[in-house]
């Protein structure tokens, strides 16, 4: 049997962040999306783009919310490139536990990549608060310098 999207559960951690019940290091927000630092970054500058629409995955997200999410993901990728000067940029999005998804509210990862550095493990090691804050501040500054 193929992958089946789960029912959306509004108790998930990103829904709680969206409702303001949990804190995050926010770098960007508009009517349809929010972007904040991954608390267990696989690389410095690892940022998450989260649509505000309550959908667990890419299959259930509306086309309008998907378009907004990609627009914000592009904006964040430009800011990560400016702020962290990586050799490359990786954008990922997981659907279902078999694909590696651990939070069942759709999101896009934006990850800087360096030729001489491997990733830290996925969702394993929490970064120090002051480091996440400093990285968020760098991204906010880079975003303010983007033209679009």
Name the residues that contact ligand 5GP, by CB under 6 A: 13, 24, 36-40, 94, 100-103, 122-123
By C-beta, is 123 or 140 nearer to ligand 5GP? 123
Taking the complex as a whole, the smallest distance from the CB of residue 35 to ligand 5GP amounts, in Å, to 10
- Characterise 27 by phi-psi region: left (phi > 0), alpha (psi -120 to 50), beta (else): alpha
Taking the complex as a whole, the smallest distance from the CB of residue 24 to ligand 5GP amounts, in Å, to 5
Taking the complex as a whole, the smallest distance from the CB of residue 31 to ligand 5GP amounts, in Å, to 21
Tell me whether residue 107 is one of the annotated catalytic residues: yes
Find the catalytic residue in 46, 105, 107, 135: 107
3-state helix, strand, coil in the chain (%, to 5): 30, 15, 50
Instruction: Report d(CA 107, CA 34) in Å as an integer.
Output: 10
Instruction: Report d(CA 57, CA 108) in Å as an integer.
Output: 10
Catalytic site residues? 107
């Amino acid at each position: 049997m193929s992958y089946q999207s789960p029912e959306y559960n509004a108790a998930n951690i990103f829904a709680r962040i969206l409702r303001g019940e949990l804190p995050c290091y926010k770098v960007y927000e508009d009517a349809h999306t929010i972007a904040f630092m991954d608390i267990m970054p696989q690389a410095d500058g690892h940022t998450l783009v989260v649509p505000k629409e309550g959908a667990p995955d890419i299959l259930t997200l509306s086309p309008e919310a998907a378009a907004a999410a990609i627009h914000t993901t592009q904006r964040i990728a430009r800011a990560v490139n400016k702020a962290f000067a990586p050799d490359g940029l990786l954008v990922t999005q997981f659907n279902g536990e078999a694909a590696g998804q651990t939070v069942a509210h759709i999101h896009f990862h934006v990850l800087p990549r360096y030729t001489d550095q491997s990733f830290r493990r996925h969702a394993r090691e929490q970064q120090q608060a002051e480091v996440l804050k400093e990285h968020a501040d760098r991204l906010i500054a880079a975003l303010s310098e983007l033209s679009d």
